[in-house]
Structure 1
Amino acid sequence: MKFSLGPSLFFWPKNDVEAYYQQALNSKADIIYLGETVCSKRRELRAKDWINLAKELNSNSDKQIVLSTMALLESPAEIQTMRRLCGNGELLIEANDLSAVQMMYELNLPFVAGPAINCYNIATLKVLLRQGMSRWVMPVEVSGDWLKTLLQQAEEENIRDQFECEVFSWGYMPLAYSARCFTARSEDRPKDDCKYCCIKYPEGRKMNSREGERVFILNGIQTMSGYQYNLVNEVPEMVNMGVDIARISADNEKAFTMLDRFGNQLVTPEKYPLDGVEECNGYWHKIAGMSVA
């Protein structure tokens, strides 16, 4: 099994982003994803900056560097930006929208189908493979049993060796996207005059229920889980079912510690107690997502 560092889903200053990815070069990640996946108004780094940073990392490391595209496109300008990323000429692309899948198909280039692509069955996997998919990231809300069944079906259809399987395994889960900006709304600002306020919340804006329980995290147009998903104890099971890559989300510097911890599970598996206040693993076990099995 390999381990990946997923793209940062939050809005950070350019210097912080660059420093973070320099740390990532010295981490246990085999694969590093980077790029703006949430909102095109986050312009600390523009498309050319992401491409240049990715190429710099690629030239200074033996890790695989992957550029990620946005999950929700709302304007022709955003499509042009995505076209520029897809045509970078050097790096693998994680497509988080079907228009990116189509662009990669037209370019006759392989791509990663990101977790924002709604792929839940063998028929959809076959469609994506025909389009050129080389790696599939499972949607975050489905279970381990569901994944095991789907991978078995892929074996039976003789297509399992045509793609890698990656599982979002640690971090705040991206659950939904909207044309509205919830962070701006929380500050009583219209989306068109947001003042880029989400940069003030480097780990999103926490939203509690009336009972005081953290339910979600507001991250611009993205709604995320209030707790960090943690499948560290499921690494042996994932290996047995044939998962190729476990993804650690670039939420903060704790991601580097988690990369070490996940890697250690391949050598000396250990049962880690999960913090029910900050962590969850419910989706994997087919129970309420906020729960710990």
Structure 2
Amino acid sequence: MKIALGPLQYYWPRVATLEFYAAVRDWPVDIVYLGETVCSRRHELRLSDWIEIADMLAEAGKTPVLSTQVLLESGNDLNILRKITENERYDVEANDMGAVQQMKSKPFIGGPFLNIYSKPTLDVIAAQGATRWVMPLEMSRAGLTQLQQDRPAGLQTEVFAYGRMPLAFSARCFTARNRNFPKDNCQYVCMDHPDGLLLETKESQAFLTINGIQTQSALVYTLIHALGDLRDLGVDVVRLSPQSQHMDQVAAAFRAVLDGRESADDAHRRLVPLMPAGPCNGYWHGRAGLDMVQDGEVVVTQAQDARTPGVRTRAA
């Protein structure tokens, strides 16, 4: 089973981003998704920069994939989409049906935001040229089991296995609104929150994480205990979503479990202190997303404030 590093969801300074991907060359990951998928106002890196990073990673033996933006809002967004889908050098992850149409039946990866929940949808995406699909984040083991039985021949499956879950996108920028800035003059405040901005309820319970126009889970989704199940189900790739610190150790832990050099329990204990918030895996077990299930029992978890960077915000 291969390990993929998902696209960077946060807005980091240019130097920090370049240093991050330079380090990725030595990490035990096979596939690296690149590009801006959240907000077109994030201009630290342009498409040409992402392609240069792809070249560097390809030379290091990785398989780069260019990811398309999820929510397109302008003509410039469409122009960048066309450039990505028309490139002849690297695979493309299509994150909306417009990108699927732009691929014009060329091979592509169907991203998690295509919302593939049924065999008819999977058949349509495969007929459009998909060579791999990414399971929606809310899907359970039972749902994946059914689709694995029904998937078209030759279509690979990828599962989001680590990171804060990207749950929704909006035309409104919540991070800018938190600072009373309009979206068109946001002052790029996303850069102040390298792992997103935690949102809490009035009862001080972790609720969500806001990341510009994207809403994420407050807790960190982890399927490290499910890697054996994923292998048994015929999953081809597990995806790890980048975080600002300790990502090399996260990748190493998943690789160690997949290679049989470490137990899932030991790796999980090693990972929890490295997470920007507490762990969860409820969706996989058909439960509420914030639940953490271990050995068949639910462990109640909340985001750990001491390890959550950024300003804490309470829900109104």
What is the TM-score of this pair, normalised by structure 2?
Answer: 0.87
1:134 corresponds to which residue? 131
Question: What are the within-5 Å matches in structure 2 for residues 186-225 of structure 1?
Answer: 186-225=178-217
**2:95–2:112 CA contact under 8 A, matched in 1:** yes
Alignment map for 1:1-293 (pairs within 5 Å)? 1-58=1-58, 60-105=59-104, 108-154=105-151, 159=152, 161-266=153-258, 267-268=260-261, 269-271=263-265, 272=268, 278-293=278-293
Q: Which runs of 4+ in 1 moved over 6 A?
A: none
CA positional deviation for 1:109: 2.1
CA distance in 1, matches of 2:86, 2:167: 28
Q: Quick one: which amino acid aligns to residue 81 of structure 1?
A: I
AA aligned opposite 2:197 = R
Query: SS in structure 2 opposite 1:265?
Result: helix
For the Cα contact (< 8 Å) 1:216–1:223, is it kept in 2?
Answer: yes
Q: Residue by residue, what CA displacement relative to the aligned partner does 1:253-292 show, whole Å, maximum 9, x if unpaired?
A: 3222121111222214432358596110000001110011
Distance across 2 between alignment mates of 1:207 and 1:38: 19
Contact 1:51 1:88 in 2 (8 A): no
C-alpha deviation, 1:52, in angstroms: 2.3
Amino acid at match of 1:179: A
Deviates most, 40-49 or 267-276: 267-276
Task: Give the percent of matched residue pairs that are identical in Structure 1 and Structure 2.
Answer: 41
Rounded to whole Å, the distance in 2 between the matches of 1:278 and 1:255 is 16
1:180, distance to aligned residue in structure 2 (A): 0.3
Q: Any conservation in 2 of the 1:51–1:85 contact (CA below 8 Å)?
A: no
- Aligned-partner Cα distance in 2 for 1:49–1:24: 16
Aligned residues: 285
> Do the aligned partners of 1:204 and 1:217 also contact (CA within 8 Å) in 2?
yes
Whole-Å Cα distance in 2 between the matches of residues 27 and 232 of structure 1? 18
Question: Pairwise CA RMSD of aligned residues?
Answer: 1.5
Once residues 186 and 91 of structure 1 are traced to their aligned partners in structure 2, the CA distance between those partners, rounded to angstroms, is 37
Note if contact 1:93-1:111 (Cα within 8 Å) is conserved in structure 2.
Answer: yes
- AA matched with 2:101: Q
| Conserved 8 A contact 1:174-1:225 | yes
Alignment partners' CA distance in 1, 2:247 and 2:166: 16
Cα displacement (A) at 1:193:
1.0
Question: What code does the residue aligned with 2:173 have?
Answer: C
Question: In 2, distance between residues paired with 1:199 and 1:237?
Answer: 37
CA distance in structure 1 between the partners assigned to 2:252 and 2:48 by the alignment: 31
For the 8 Å contact 1:279–1:292, the answer to whether it is kept is yes
**Structure 2 counterpart of 1:70, which letter?**
Q
Partner SS state of residue 162, structure 1: coil
Partner of 2:54: helix, strand, or coil? helix
- Structure 2: 5+ residue stretches without partners: 294-316
Q: Gapped runs of 5+ residues in structure 1?
A: none
